[in-house]
Structure 1
């Protein structure tokens, strides 16, 4: 089954990472298995970070200024800066 591994989608990599975290948090794994799972988790984390960075570069906000369309990089820090913005938990 692992013979033909294609590049994982972000969602599948994240799902596998969550499963690995659950296995590691259970504390029931032998040391060798835990180390193997940890190494796989580090690899998946790097892949996810790379995919997110790539997606962030592609995301642009179009803003009209003086009759011209201007592309601005998407700023994620404003979305997560405070907890009283739209969609904040009550």
Structure 2
């Protein structure tokens, strides 16, 4: 999958995931519908995470090539 394609699918998947979350939070789905929506949401979340991981790896490679520096792992607990 090309970079443009993966970014487009990421954005589409993220939008669909947002819609599923809204539906689940509405409490208007039957149990069966909610389970199907949750299952689909987990799949979409995994696909989005995969694209983000690939993007992070590309950024690390580019940064190392450009500056010879290594990025520090992001830790949201220790942000300013």
TM-score per shorter chain, which class? 0.7 to 0.9
Structure 1 residue aligned with 2:12: 12
The DSSP-based 3-state class of the residue aligned with 2:42 is helix
Q: How many pairs align?
A: 70
Higher relative strand content? 1
Unaligned runs of 5+ in 2: none
* Higher-Rg member (1/2): 1
Q: Residues 3-82 of structure 1: matches in 2 within 5 Å? A: 9-59=9-59, 60-61=62-63, 62-63=66-67, 70=68, 72=70, 74-75=71-72, 77=74, 80=76, 81-82=78-79
TM-score (norm 1): 0.66
Deviations 1:68-88 (A, max 9, x none): xx263x44516x4313xxxxx
Unaligned runs of 5+ in 1: 1-5, 64-69, 84-90
Runs of 4+ in 1 over 4 A off after TM superposition: none
Q: CA RMSD in A?
A: 2.2
